[in-house]
Amino acid sequence: MLRKFKIAIDGSEYLVEMEEIGGVPQPAAAPTMAATATLDPEPAAEPIVETAPAGADAITAPMPGTILKILVAPGSPVKENQPLMILEAMKMENEIVAGKAGTVSALHVKEGDVINPGEALITIN
């Protein structure tokens, strides 16, 4: 079973997926809130992007990675080979491009999501 964790190293936050190998499965502990001192004011809230369930015609992830940036919005017209989003994999930024011209009908991920190969990213009709 994969579990997701958010860790902070030198002030930078990272999303990590880990699979437990061997050992005796432990019951999940209740989350606890740790008090931390911050010197920086809270960052501005990011816009909320709603995701939709994927159909069979969705563009899928070619490799595991993290969605860094989404370049289109639902309802946006796109051209063939137009960049749709940036996927970071193994410290490299990869463009996910449109395989056909059309209109973005649904986004299935949001910025910061950690994805696996074959997961639905976006649907174009």
Q: Residue 39: is its pLDDT beyond 80?
A: no
Cα–Cα distances in Å, from 34 out to 27, 31, 66?
21, 10, 26
Q: What's 69's domain CATH number?
A: 2.40.50.100
79 within some domain = yes
Backbone φ and ψ of 122, nearest 5°:
-155, 150
25 within some domain = no
52 within some domain = no
Q: Residue 79: is its pLDDT beyond 70?
A: yes
Q: Report pLDDT for 49.
A: 47
What is the spatial distance between Cα 59 and Cα 34, in angstroms, rounded to a whole number? 39
Give how many domains the chain has, as a whole number: 1
26 within some domain = no
Backbone φ and ψ of 56, nearest 5°:
-70, -20
pLDDT bracket for residue 13 (50, 70, 90) = confident
5 within some domain = no
90 within some domain = yes
108 within some domain = yes
68 within some domain = yes
Q: Which domain holds residue 72?
A: 59-124
pTM for the whole thing? Answer: 0.55
Of the candidates 105, 107, 104, 101, the residue with the CA atom closest to the CA atom of residue 121: 107
